[in-house]
Amino acid sequence: MNSGYNGPIGYLDRIRRTRGANFCRNAFLRTERGNRQNAVRLINDDRLLFATLFVLQPEIRERNLYQELSERNRTALNICQKIRSAKNPQDGTGGEISLKSEDVHSVMLWMFNTGAGEDGLSAEFDQILDITASVLVKTHHEKTVLPVIADLIFRRNRRGVYNHDLIWAFFQARDPQSLTHIAGKLRSSYKKDVELACQLLHIPEDTPLNTGRDKQKQYDAYLSWLKENSPYVYFTGESLQLTNAPSVCGVNLEAKYLCKDVSPRNNRPLTPLTDEEIANLEHFHEVEDEERAALATFSHNLHTKNESSWNEWMQYPVSKQVDIAKYGRRELA
C-alpha cells in the first residue's frame, strides 16, 4: 500500500499516533500553558503531519495561535476553512484564499501526501482529503498524487466506506498512464480490490479472475491494450454518480486508423487533420461498424512495424485495405 508519506514525523504526530487525538490535544495545551514558544515550535515543525494540525484546530483557535503559525500551517487552515465555507456558503468565511496559487498547490501536496495515510480520522478530515485531491488533480494538474489517490480508493473500498468522490477526482486527471495504477489491483489477492479494478476498467464481469495466473493474464492483457491504444484514449467523464458501469475512457478509432494522437481531455486530434487525412476518414466511415475496430488495429500495427508499408496501404481503396487487414498481403508484411 502507498500511503503517500514515509518520511520522518514530529513529536506531536508521535503522541497522536500512539496515545490518540485527545491525549495529543491535552499534551499540546499543557505545553502551551507552560511555554507558548515551545508549543509553537512543536506545531510548526517541518515534519508535522497534516492530520495533527487538523486535530489541533480547536486548541489553535482557543489559544489564539493562528498568527504564530508557519506560513504552511496558516495556509492549510485557510484551505480547510475554504472547503467548509464551500459546503456552507452562508457562513461567509474562507473566500480570501485562491486555490489556484502556487503556495496553495505546495501546501495541498503536503496536506494530501501526509494526510492520506491517516484516512478515516473523521468524516470532515476524509472530505478535506477528497477535495484536496480534486483540486490538486483538476486545478493544478498534479499527477504525482495519482498513485496515492489510487491506493486510498482501494483502501476505502476494503473498509466499505465512501470513495466515489475520490474515484471521480482520480479520473479527472484524464491521464491514460494513470490507468496502470488501477490495473495493478487486478493482481491483488483481495477479491474486493479485483472487483473494483474490473468495474473501473470496464472489464466484463464474466472475465475469469479466480487464480493468480488468471489475474496476471488479465493484467498483462490490459497493459498490452493500454500500450497499443494510449495515444488514442480519451476520457468520457462517466462516473459512479452516473452509472454503475462507468466507461471512463474510450478509444478513438478514427485516430487509431490515422495513427494520430488525440487529446485525452476532449477527444480531438492534437494536430489538425490534413486534407489527405480527412479524405481517408471518409473512406473509413464507409466501412461497417464491426470492421472499423479491426481496420484501426491493423493500421496501428502496420504503422508501428513499418511506416513505409503503412503509407502504401493507406493509398489503397478502403475495400482493399479491409481485404489486406483480413487476409494479409505479403508485400506489406
Q: Which CB, 244 or 271, lies closer to another protein?
A: 244
Q: Which CB, 138 or 283, lies closer to another protein?
A: 138
Minimum distance, C-beta of residue 135 to another protein, in the bound complex (Å): 5
Q: Which CB, 15 or 121, lies closer to another protein?
A: 121
Q: Which CB, 236 or 297, lies closer to another protein?
A: 236
Q: Which CB, 237 or 250, lies closer to another protein?
A: 237
Minimum distance, C-beta of residue 65 to another protein, in the bound complex (Å): 26
Minimum distance, C-beta of residue 234 to another protein, in the bound complex (Å): 12
**SS3 of the chain:** CCCCCCCCCCHHHHHHHHHCHHHHHHHHHHHHHHCHHHHHHHHCCCCCCHHHHHHCHHHHHHCCCHHHCCHHHHHHHHHHHHHHHHHCHHHCCCCCCCCCCHHHHHHHHHHHHHHHHHCCCCHHHHHHHHHHHHHHHHCCCCCCCHHHHHHHHHHHHHHCCCCHHHHHHHHCCCCHHHHHHHHHHHHCCCHHHHHHHHHHHCCCCCCCCCCHHHHHHHHHHHHHHHHHHHHHEEECCCCCCCCCCCCCEEECHHHHHHCCCECCCCCCECCCCCHHHHHHHHHHHHCCHHHHHHHHHHHHHHHHHCHHHHHHHHHCCHHHHHHHHHHCCHHHC
Site for another protein, rule CB under 8 A? 82-83, 86-87, 99-100, 123, 126-127, 130-131, 134-135, 137-139, 159-162, 164-165, 168-169, 172, 237, 239-245
Minimum distance, C-beta of residue 98 to another protein, in the bound complex (Å): 9
Minimum distance, C-beta of residue 76 to another protein, in the bound complex (Å): 15
